[in-house]
Homo-oligomer: A and B are copies of this chain.
């Protein structure tokens, strides 16, 4: 098969558009499960444009084409789009038109606009549709790339295996019964689960169809009596088949899902508006829809005892890997030639020595000096920056283990660093500590606590442009909802059992990036006559580099917290360390 250029691809798309009387076609970066990481065969946006960034979408009209992406890709975008005939539209920059407005301005009065409904959520579909219709345009579902991109890889055939009850902590039967209770509360007779982590959680199975996420392509359909898992049955290990049978879950082929949906009649279906629009197209005519969040989504976020036991155990293995790695790095840098990519690989090697290790929970971010300031930096395999014994390096990484998932960031001085760097590092750490120390009543949401992580920076007119905390799965996606700690409003209460990251940072473009990240879990603190009060218990064990802390900036309570944390690290990790590493580690955890 001949390799097509972007120009040729766009030209072919325009032919398809012409045949179908479509004036504009939108290519989102999405799969049918609205996954954060896309399987290869769903990289439609990258295929049509050549642009490889993690965020952005393309609009093609008969004579123009544009890519909308955000500030992270204003440098990379033009490079990758060069010669493609696709213009870059800078999202978030004053004067950049909204893409729907732009479509309306570029098309005729009653234009038909198309998307592939499989690759967009119902929520987005409705938003775009309403806007287009208000101007007389129409939105239709046409998977126009299907006939053009014919050599897309087929789905992976990775095994789907059982996540056993000792680790899951709750049987499939109990999960289904809890979900059905919620369905009844909503007067629903049926329920569709399409997000891959929710599918995997519900049926206590795991896979590896998506990089770094232990999930597999699948849907769950649930009625009050029956449960069906739609999955490529060839991928199911025998134990998985047996487990489904035992749990009363019927198995049907992944590819038969939409045909099945079309047979549904007179059901009241609970379905998330984050499910793909094709689901809605298949059931909307003959059924009543209740658009609500998947009930299992919140259940999944609240870890049970078995899952928390897993986290505790994993954190020791991950901490040992981190300490060995940090010792290696600080003792090797300046002596051997190293680059960012090699450092990331070395960290992976250290993690691989840990029991139950499966793989990275995301692509490690190893950012030396100015690269540390690029929030979603990914060091290329070839030609990443050389790392030497001056300046600082930011390392954000995590592991998937059969019994848990980790996510940790440490910022290291590799030689002398400036006074300003130390002050910034201290203020960011202060944020992490203040958030770790807070006690808060039942009913508190993440947006209320976010300020604690930022205030020490705000005091000097500084800030960081990302969230402070995201949910973390249990041998599951490293990013999960519904809870968060961010500036943005999110109505979800923080409740005991929720695991979150705590990761304030500070970034100076071209110079350095700082981020300190631990995971913590919401725990009961005490019941008072006022309310139940909660606190965070830190899960991550790995020392911070005291040499970048300006002690005078910290309050006594903050110093005490740090010393106690290092003391806890010592208790947990020292028994698993030896020789030189142990000596180095014991220096690291000394009180400041």
Contact = CB atoms under 8 A, between A and B. Distances in A.
A531 B452 contact: no
B461 A439 contact: yes
A75 interface: no
A466 to B, nearest CB: 13
Given A451-B452, A526-B461, A528-B461, A487 B533 contact: no
A440 B458 contact: yes
Contacts of A440: 451, 458
B487 A458 contact: no
A448 B443 CA distance: 15
Contact of A555 (B450, B525, B555): B555
Contact of A461 (B448, B533, B555): B533
Interface string A413-452: 0000000000000000000000000111101110111111
B451 A449 contact: yes
Contacts of A445: 447, 489
B530 A443 contact: no
Nearest to A532: B461
A107 interface: no
A463 interface: yes
A491 interface: yes
Interface string A549-577: 00000010000000000000000000000
A462 B530 contact: yes
A502 to B, nearest CB: 15
Nearest to A464: B530
Contact of A489 (B447, B525, B531, B555): B447
Given A438-B455, A450-B448, A489-B445, A463 B530 contact: yes
B463 A531 contact: yes
B441 A463 contact: yes
B451 A439 contact: no
Interface in A487-525: 487, 489, 491, 525
Top 10 closest pairs, chain A to chain B, by CB: A461-B528, A489-B489, A463-B530, A439-B458, A448-B451, A461-B533, A441-B463, A462-B530, A447-B447, A440-B458
Contacts of A580: none
A585 to B, nearest CB: 33
Contact of A451 (B451, B489, B526): B451
Interface string A61-87: 000000000000000000000000000
A458 B526 CA distance: 11
A20 to B, nearest CB: 31
15 contacts: A438-B455, A439-B458, A441-B458, A443-B487, A448-B451, A448-B487, A451-B451, A451-B452, A458-B533, A461-B525, A462-B528, A462-B530, A463-B530, A463-B531, A489-B491
A39 to B, nearest CB: 35
B463 A439 contact: no
A173 to B, nearest CB: 29
A225 interface: no
A458 B443 contact: no
A455 B458 CA distance: 18
Contacts of A441: 458, 463
A459 interface: yes
A450 B445 CA distance: 12
Contact of A459 (B439, B447, B491): B439
A452 B455 CA distance: 10
Contact of A448 (B438, B447, B491): B447
A296 B445 CA distance: 31
A463 B531 CA distance: 8
A136 to B, nearest CB: 14
Interface string A443-484: 111011111100100110111000000000000000000000
Contacts of A526: 461
Contacts of A528: 461-462
Interface in A259-291: none
A449 B451 CA distance: 7
Nearest to A450: B448
